């Protein structure tokens, strides 16, 4: 609904601007003639005018007033900051709608019941709690340094590396005897591997000339771990096999292998810093909650304890962990 309101507001502004331009273009001929007679500048000649730069509204500038209540510029900007509106005009329109509805709700005494009054106060407490979280998170983030990010990077190189990738052509056969014969043909001088794929392969990718490309995880899934290990140890252009693969015996021609590459620290530094800041904020929140609980007097009544026990009984049992296989 809010986005719709913003769209309508924008459309009205565009429509009004368009009408202004349209009205300016519709100057009657007699008015143009009178301007000419009065010595107006002929069409096509430049007119020197001094354009004044619009004054930037101050933070206490009034944007709109509803029944004596005013929305100031800084308040509208805060609404945009809190993502309650896309821009300042949208914030003014949204605030006007909310103000009209809330005034009508209070006129109807909808805030008079104890339930509604309690919920309104709960919203206030929830917002204050969020402000405390933001303050705690900012304080935790300030303790994070680039040295911590570098240490995390150095201690976990595998987390910041581009995986090995390869492109191979393969021939899949279920018979070891057939695989040995085809492998001998594939290694012969001048062998046409594509023709051998088309003639002998039992894989579903014959229409793609038996080409498989991807990272180590995909190659392991499609061809098998032993095939992957052989490809990683081979040189481009090598013909390998037959090797027992995931679905049978594989004969592989290596087209291209790109080894695992470490991503430079500068490319991942910001991501690592964000991860460390998020973890620091989580720990700070846990410590704050524990501190507040230790300092507070919290009494759980027997009623609550009984409800907790009933909930435990009603909850489904945890999944059973697989045990050792007995032979």
Residue 39 has pLDDT above 90, yes or no: no
Looking at residue 67, what DSSP letter applies? T
pTM of the model: 0.57
Q: Token pair for residue 125?
A: 């407490």
- Residue 167, φ and ψ in degrees, nearest 5: -125, 125
Tokens in use for 274?
């964000």
Task: Determine the straight-line distance between the first and last CA of the chain, rounded to whole angstroms.
Answer: 64
User: Of 127, 146, 139, 148, whose CA–CA distance to 284 is shortest?
Assistant: 139
Task: Give the mean pLDDT of the chain.
Answer: 83
Q: How far is CA 38 from the centre of its chain?
A: 63
How far, in Å, CA of 36 to CA of 151, rounded?
78
Place of tokens 């009623």: 303
Would you state the pLDDT for residue 10?
37
Architecture of domain 164-259: Roll (3.10)
Per-residue pLDDT tens over the stretch 204-249? 876 677 898 888 889 998 899 999 999 989 999 999 989 999 999 9
Q: What is the pLDDT of residues 260-290, one digit of tens each?
A: 899 999 999 999 999 999 999 999 999 999 9
Summarised one tens digit per residue, pLDDT across range 165-177 is 999 999 999 999 9
Please state, as a whole number, how many other Cβ atoms lie within 10 Å of the Cβ of residue 272: 21
Domain spans, the chain: 1-20+58-112, 164-259
Lowest-pLDDT range, 52-66, 70-84, 149-163, 175-189?
Answer: 52-66
Average pLDDT of span 39-57: 59
Q: Quick check: 262 and 157 in contact, CB under 8 A?
A: yes
């Amino acid at each position: 609904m809010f986005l719709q309101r913003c769209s309508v507001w924008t459309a009205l502004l565009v429509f009004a601007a368009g009408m202004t331009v349209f009205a300016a273009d519709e100057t009657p001929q007699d008015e143009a003639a009178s301007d000419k007679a009065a010595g107006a500048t002929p069409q096509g000649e430049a007119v020197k005018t001094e354009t004044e730069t619009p004054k930037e509204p101050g933070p206490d500038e009034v944007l709109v007033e509803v029944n004596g209540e005013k929305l100031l510029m800084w308040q509208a900007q805060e609404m945009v900051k809190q993502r309650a509106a896309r821009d300042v005009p949208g914030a003014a329109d949204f605030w006007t709608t909310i103000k009209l509805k809330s005034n009508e709700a209070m006129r109807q005494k909808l805030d008079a019941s104890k339930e509604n009054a309690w919920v309104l106060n709960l919203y206030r407490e929830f917002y204050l709690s969020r402000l405390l979280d933001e303050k705690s998170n900012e304080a935790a983030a300030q303790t994070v340094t680039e040295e911590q990010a570098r240490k995390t990077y150095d201690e976990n190189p595998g987390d910041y590396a581009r995986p090995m990738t390869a492109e191979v052509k393969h021939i899949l056969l279920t018979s070891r005897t057939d695989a040995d014969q085809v492998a001998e043909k594939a290694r012969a001088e001048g062998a046409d591997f594509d023709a051998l794929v088309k003639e002998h392969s039992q894989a579903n990718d014959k229409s793609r000339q038996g080409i498989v490309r991807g990272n180590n995880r995909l190659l392991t899934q499609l061809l098998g771990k032993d095939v992957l290990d052989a490809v990683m140890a081979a040189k481009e252009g090598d013909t390998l096999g037959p090797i027992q693969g995931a679905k049978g015996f594989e004969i592989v021609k290596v087209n291209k292998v790109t080894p695992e590459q470490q991503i430079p620290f500068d490319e991942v530094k910001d991501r690592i810093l964000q991860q460390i800041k998020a973890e620091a904020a989580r720990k700070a929140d846990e410590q704050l909650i524990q501190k507040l609980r230790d300092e507070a007097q919290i009494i759980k009544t027997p009623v609550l304890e009984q409800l907790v026990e009933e909930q435990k009984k009603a909850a489904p049992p945890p999944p059973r962990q697989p045990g050792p296989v007995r032979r």
